Each structure stands twice: as structure tokens, then as C-alpha cells.
Amino acid sequence: MANPVIVVKKEPFDNAVERAGWLALALLIFIPAWYFGDLPDEVPRHFGPDGSPTAWSGKGFIWIMPIIGSIMFVKLFFLSRYPHIYNYPVTVTEENAPRLYLKGSRMIRVLNAVLVYVFLYITYSSIQTALGEQSGLNPAIMFAMMGTIFAIIGFYLFDSYRNK
């Protein structure tokens, strides 16, 4: 049985999260453009568990994160508009669809914003490392960002089960 198709109105929180995501996306594109002329011929392309760079590439590699991040952001932005196509951990009914759809689309919006900020942090840190201003990624920040991603998913799954 297909999930019911209904339109769920976004709340102010959802709009704020989307705006924060668009801001991060703009910065993700602007920052490499701003620093590109100052970059050395090689920039870090991989970091070890301790955050130090373990592999280097030509400076054009600095555009990989903005390209991937932009594609991901736009796809998730549009996906958040169609919560009826998601897989839910509970059966979707006419009664619970508005709540599940709001929560599902909100989870996608929040994840989208957090992911683009992760890409922004990695891009900015790669630039700063290439310029000799820092020594790599801060493992504590990366751990916190990854923990945040798993916490978001866990929270929304728990909330879906709790409020069947």
C-alpha cells in the first residue's frame, strides 16, 4: 500500500534550518573561490584519524567538496519536499501521516544542513592546512560532527517509534 500523499506545512524551525543550510552552501562555494589564488600547488585530499593530512593533490582538488556538497544539498533539499516516498519505521496511516511527514522532512532538512557544514569545515580546514595556518582537521570537531549526524538519525527514529 502506498503512503498517503498530503502536503505538510513547514514550521518556522524548518525555514530557519533551510536558510542555515543555504548559507553554508554559499560559504562552501565562496571560500575556495576566495582563497584559490593563494593556495599552493598541492592541497590535502585525505586526513588520518589524528586529523593530519596523509595525501595531497593539485589545488584544483579543493573544489571536490563544494561540488559533492552542492549536488548532495540540492538533492536532499528537493527530497525533503516529498516525505510520502520515504521509508518509515512504522506503518503510515491517514492519522499519523502529517506528524510522520513533518518529522521525516525535518530530519532530512536538519541532516542536510549539518552535512553541508561538515563539508564546509573540511574544505576550510584543507585550505588553512595548505596555507600552513593549521596542521589538519581537529579530531574532536570531526567526532562531534559525526556524533551529531548519528544523534539526529537516532532521535528521529526513536521519536517515530515512541509516537506510533
Instruction: For residue 53, list its beta bridge partners.
Output: 47
> Is residue 82 one of the residues assigned to a domain?
yes
Q: Which domain holds residue 48?
A: 12-162
Q: Work out the pLDDT band at 90, boundaries 50, 70, 90.
A: confident
pTM: 0.91
> Is residue 88 one of the residues assigned to a domain?
yes
> Is residue 47 one of the residues assigned to a domain?
yes
Phi, psi torsion values for 100, nearest 5 degrees = -65, -40
Number of independent structural domains in the chain: 1
> Is residue 1 one of the residues assigned to a domain?
no
What is residue 164's predicted lDDT score, i.e. its pLDDT? 62
> Is residue 53 one of the residues assigned to a domain?
yes
How crowded is residue 29: how many other Cβ atoms within 10 Å of its Cβ?
Answer: 17
> Is residue 4 one of the residues assigned to a domain?
no
Q: CA-CA distance, 88 to 107, in Å (whole number)?
A: 12
Q: Is the CA virtual torsion 79, 81, 82, 87 positive or negative?
A: positive
> Is residue 23 one of the residues assigned to a domain?
yes
Mean pLDDT of the chain: 93
What is residue 161's predicted lDDT score, i.e. its pLDDT? 74
Q: Is the CA virtual torsion 72, 77, 82, 83 positive or negative?
A: positive
